[in-house]
């Protein structure tokens, strides 16, 4: 408590990691209780039982705390999602497996994520579309590539580079709908997810038909326009 941030006890290994985690946990508690806007770094330090200087030593700002929250979520979610995929076969089943892991993991912080969803401008470092979030985003797009690959669905070559990113966008849309969903137990999101997952899986299966090549051309052309050369919006270029 109140240790100088530069003391050896906070800068060395496990102890340091514990303090960092404690501050992050305290921040999440406060964000959930009071909202992201009103909570100050001072409140967070107090809640964590550390000196203000120590809090700033680990996190330069509230934004840094949010980034840490996303990074930890990504780190913890990745193995859970891969594990869920090992038990799921069909594409629809695999999509459900991944999304259910995400919904369950994020449930305690749904309100916080609603507040954070204000950051959608790709120029905001906290936006899921920012260049700062690119590493996390690319790995997440990779998760959807594996969701596709493990299923038996034959994906046509022209769509292959696009589909994982489209699935990622679909999953972002679901999450956004979910954070704003005020129905009991987010029932509306669950209905939407039920119905849309089978539609999405069927569309992907249909998309492989050779006759649909012209339609695929129109679609990939449109996607290239959306992503442009920047590829800042939504994953691997």
Binding residues for its own copies, rule: CB under 8 A, are: 114, 117-123, 177, 180, 182-183, 188, 191-192, 195-196, 199, 218, 221-222, 225-226, 228
Considering the complex, what minimum distance in angstroms separates the CB of residue 114 from its own copies? 6
| Burial per residue of 85-110, b for 16 or more beta-carbon CB atoms within 10 angstroms, e otherwise | beebeebbbbbbbbbebbbeebeebb
Closest separation in Å from C-beta 19 to its own copies: 32
What would the two tokens of residue 71 be?
Answer: 């990074």
Q: Which is nearer to its own copies, 6 or 217 (CB)?
A: 217
Q: At closest approach, how far in Å is the CB of 45 from its own copies?
A: 25
- Shorter beta-carbon distance to its own copies: residue 97 or 126: 126
Radius of gyration of the chain (CA): 20
We find the least distance from the C-beta atom of residue 128 to its own copies, in angstroms, to be 13
**Contact 235/168 with Cβ under 8 angstroms?**
yes
Distance CA 137, CA 27 (A): 24
- Distance of closest approach, residue 135 Cβ to its own copies, in angstroms: 21
Q: Which is nearer to its own copies, 5 or 111 (CB)?
A: 111
Compute the least distance from the CB of residue 160 to its own copies, in Å.
Answer: 21
d(CA 80, CA 7) in angstroms, rounded, equals 36
Name the residue nearer to its own copies (CB basis): 57 or 193.
193
Question: Which is nearer to its own copies, 46 or 188 (by Cβ)?
Answer: 188
CB 205 within 8 Å of CB 156: no
Residue with tokens 């809090």: 55
Q: How many CB atoms lie within 10 A of CB 220?
A: 14
- In contact, 175 and 106? CB cutoff 8 Å: yes
Closer residue to its own copies (CB): 71 or 121: 121
């Amino acid at each position: 408590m109140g240790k100088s941030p530069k003391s050896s006890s906070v800068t060395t290994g496990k102890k340091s990691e514990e303090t960092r985690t404690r501050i992050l946990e305290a921040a999440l508690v406060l964000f959930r209780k009071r909202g992201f806007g009103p909570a100050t770094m001072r409140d967070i330090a107090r809640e964590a039982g550390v000196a203000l200087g120590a809090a700033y030593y680990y996190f330069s700002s509230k934004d840094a705390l949010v980034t840490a929250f996303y990074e930890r979520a990504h780190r913890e979610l990745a193995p859970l999602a891969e594990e869920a995929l090992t038990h799921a076969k069909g594409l629809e089943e695999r999509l459900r497996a991944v999304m259910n892991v995400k919904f369950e993991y994020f449930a305690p912080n749904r309100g916080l994520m609603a507040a954070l969803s204000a950051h959608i401008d790709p120029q905001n470092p906290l936006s899921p579309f920012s260049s700062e979030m690119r590493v996390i985003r690319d790995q997440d797009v990779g998760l959807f590539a594996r969701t596709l690959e493990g299923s038996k669905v034959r994906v046509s070559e022209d769509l292959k580079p696009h589909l994982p990113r489209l699935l990622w966008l679909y999953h972002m849309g679901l999450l956004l709908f979910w954070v704003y969903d005020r129905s009991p137990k987010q029932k509306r999101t669950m209905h939407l997810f039920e119905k849309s997952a089978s539609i999405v899986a069927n569309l992907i299966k249909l998309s492989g038909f050779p006759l649909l090549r012209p339609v695929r051309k129109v679609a990939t052309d449109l996607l290239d326009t959306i992503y442009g050369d920047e590829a800042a919006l939504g994953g691997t270029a």
